[in-house]
Amino acid sequence: MTPQVSPLVVLLQLGQRVRRTETLEEWRFVLVNESHTLIPYRQAVLWNASGQVEALSGVPRVDPRIPFVLWLRRLFIPISQGDIGAPVQLSAHDVPEELKDQWSEWLPQEAVALCLRNDGIPLGWLLLARDEAFDENELALLEHLTEIHGHAWAYHRAKKRPPWWSRVHARKRWLALPILLLIVLSIRIPLSALAPGEIVAVTPEVVRSPMDGVVLRFHVQPNDPVRIGQPLFDLDDTNLNSRLEVALKSLDIAESEYFLTAQQALTDPRSKGQLAILTGKVEEKRLEAEGLQALLKQSRVTASREGIALFSDPQGWIGRPVVTGEKILMVAGERETEVEAWLSAGNLIPLEPGAPVTLFLNVDPLHPLSARIRFLAFEASTRPDGTMAHQLRATLSSGVVPPRLGLKGMARIAGEKVSIFWWMARRPLAVMRQWVGW
């Protein structure tokens, strides 16, 4: 009969085996496979501190895309919330509801989770699973085993990092590092800022409502080409027509009264005094009718220049009341375009007229458009989203095919050249001065 080996002897042998591992991969294999000689189990899983599955028992390489590994990553969340100082026994009843149904499919009935740590810092978690529960003696042995593997894991991770500083110091080159750093930080690059940009018209004609009224119909559709004198839209003239008919009737009545009084004045001297009053009344009615006729002509708005019509959905305008001077649409040249950008107050950098602007359109980001600043508003204005920004207009460079109006993208505005150090420190220094106050 073969004498039974003491668990302490097996623990010492495993510790010696762990110390002889030369690579991190070899250590992982020993942890999930050879620990079975100390405590029997059916499956072993090793997670790192971020929840990635590092090793599985009986598997040479872990495929992160298989369903079992994906389920283990979900299982890591409740396990990592456990006590890192002592082994935690688990079963299907100790995990969330969404994990209970698949426990029997992937793992045996009983399991224990142990945190591998070094100097109190968690490095990862080890899960051992089998059909029988783990007793107190086995848990005590596993606690000692995890301490051994925690030190081994930290050793292999430190060993994997290249000791670049020691090599530099050994070769007497440590002085080259600060010199190289100063040289790199002194390289001058353009100070730049990003701002949302859009292709807009250079000199559009804003068409406004000539009077108070209701939009009746549109004669053009959005982005339609228009000619000089072409009707754009009509305002409802029903009320004006009614008022004009009343005014014309009143004018006829006033003229009739004037002619009747003028005939009576030939024989009745008292009627001559009424002629001046009736003359003013006739003139008043005539001016009122002429004014209404002029307003009636203005109810049809026409284009005063060639271009394309720019406005929103016409169905949203029809039947909508407008006031005098309210903007309804714009007429702009299809190829008379430039870049408009809104530079936020926090991103404002020193800029001069003619500074380069590069616009990356959303529809074609691989072919940016180059432009030059035409003007930059000195005062920030409130945008529809509530932010404060400076309006910037830039003229497209010669040779650039003018893009379609309304295209949006991101504009990069280049300013003066500064050192890399100032380029990196400008924003942190501004924030620090706001907090410190100097």
pLDDT of the chain, 438 residues: tens digit per residue: 445 678 888 888 888 888 888 888 888 898 898 888 888 999 999 999 888 998 998 888 888 889 889 989 988 888 888 777 788 888 888 888 888 888 888 899 899 999 998 888 889 989 999 989 888 888 888 888 889 888 988 888 887 655 544 454 445 556 677 788 888 888 888 888 889 999 888 888 888 888 888 888 888 888 888 898 888 888 877 776 677 677 777 777 777 777 777 766 666 666 666 676 777 777 777 887 777 776 777 778 888 888 888 888 888 888 888 888 888 888 888 778 899 999 888 788 888 888 999 999 999 889 999 999 998 888 888 887 778 899 999 999 888 888 888 889 999 998 888 888 877 877 777 777 767 765
- Examine residue 25 and state whether it is found in any structural domain, yes or no: yes
Same domain, 382 and 239: no
- Examine residue 199 and state whether it is found in any structural domain, yes or no: no
Same domain, 298 and 383: no
The CA-atom distances, in angstroms, between 172 and each of 168, 177, 180, 424 are 6, 11, 15, 30
- CATH number of the domain within which 402 lies: 2.40.30
- CATH number of the domain within which 43 lies: 3.30.450.40
Same domain, 122 and 239: no
Q: Could you say which of 303, 329, 355 is where a domain stops? A: 329
Residues 6+ apart with CB under 8 A from 175: none
Same domain, 41 and 140: yes
* Number of domains, the chain: 3
Distance between CA 74 and CA 67 in Å, rounded? 11
Same domain, 350 and 397: yes
Same domain, 107 and 242: no
- pLDDT, position 408: 92
- Examine residue 185 and state whether it is found in any structural domain, yes or no: no
- pLDDT, position 400: 81
Is residue 279 packed enough to be buried (19+ CB in 10 Å), middle (13-18) or exposed (0-12)? middle
Paired sense of beta strands 213-218 and 321-322, if any: antiparallel
* Domain that residue 211 falls in: 205-329
Packed helices 272-298 and 238-264: angle between N→C axes, nearest 10 degrees: 160
Distance between CA 305 and CA 228 in Å, rounded? 5
Same domain, 216 and 307: yes
- Examine residue 99 and state whether it is found in any structural domain, yes or no: yes
Distance between CA 197 and CA 48 in Å, rounded? 45
> Which amino acid makes up residue 4?
Q
Same domain, 16 and 156: yes
Supply the pTM of this predicted model.
Answer: 0.45
Same domain, 352 and 323: no
Q: Which long-range contacts (CB under 8 A, 24 or more apart) does 185-188 make?
A: 185/419, 185/420, 185/421, 186/419, 186/420, 186/421, 187/419, 187/420, 188/417, 188/418, 188/419, 188/420
Residues 6+ apart with CB under 8 A from 88: 79, 82, 112, 113, 114
Same domain, 14 and 152: yes
Q: Could you say which of 329, 354, 379 is where a domain stops? A: 329
- Examine residue 337 and state whether it is found in any structural domain, yes or no: no
Same domain, 389 and 418: yes
